């Protein structure tokens, strides 16, 4: 069983809807991630939270709004999405974030099973 839980597994929404994707981990990990994956493409990083603070936003459009209410939870709020935003959204966590004082990082990512989003 995966230790990173994502809900819902599937979501269909219209372009005017507001919805949220949720991610939860109870491994005590201090970094959490949102990746987006389209078919036959690599997973692309969207956001990184380190110690509950947003540390990386990969120039993601504002219609995607991340939130980290506490160290175990990560949300992705969705509003006014476009059909091209349809994809698999993967959440991941790692024990520690990378990039500490310019050091190397071999951090293993623990992934959820993803939320399959369809925007009509």
Partner 1 sequence: ILNVEQSPQSLHVQEGDSTNFTCSFPSSNFYALHWYRWETAKSPEALFVMTLNGDEKKKGQISATLNTKEGYSYLYIKGSQPEDSATYLCAFTGWGAQKLVFGQGTRLTINP
CB of 65 to partner 1, least distance (A): 20
CB of 82 to partner 1, least distance (A): 23
Contact 59, 72 (CB under 8 A): no
Q: What is the DSSP letter of 41?
A: S
59 binds partner 1 (CB under 8 A): no
CA–centroid distance for 100 within its chain: 21
Q: How far is CA 102 from CA 52, 94, 113, in A?
A: 20, 18, 31
Q: How far is CA 21 from CA 58, 60, 98, 101, 107, in A?
A: 18, 16, 24, 32, 24
102 binds partner 1 (CB under 8 A): yes
Q: How many residues interact with partner 1 (rule CB under 8 A)?
A: 31
When the beta carbons of 15 and 96 are compared against partner 1, the nearer one is 96
Choosing from 28, 69, 83, 104, the residue that interacts with partner 1 (CB under 8 A) is 104
23 binds partner 1 (CB under 8 A): no
The angle subtended at Cα 85 by Cα 115 and Cα 17, nearest 5°, is 80
Interacting span for partner 1 (CB under 8 A) from 10-18, 19-27, 39-47, 62-70: 39-47
The contact set with partner 1 (CB under 8 A) reads 2, 4, 33, 35, 40-45, 48, 50, 55-56, 90, 97-99, 102-114
């Amino acid at each position: 069983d995966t230790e990173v839980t994502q809900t819902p597994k599937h979501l269909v929404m219209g372009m005017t809807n507001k919805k949220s994707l949720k991610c939860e981990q109870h491994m005590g990990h201090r970094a959490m991630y949102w990746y987006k994956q389209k078919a036959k493409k690599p997973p692309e990083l969207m956001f990184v939270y380190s110690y509950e603070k947003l540390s990386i936003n990969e120039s993601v459009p504002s219609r995607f709004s991340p939130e980290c209410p506490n160290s175990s939870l990560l949300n992705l709020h969705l509003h006014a999405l476009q059909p091209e935003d349809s994809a698999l959204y993967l959440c991941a966590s790692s024990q520690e974030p990378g990039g500490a004082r310019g050091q190397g990082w071999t951090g293993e990512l623990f992934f959820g099973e993803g939320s399959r989003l369809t925007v009509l």
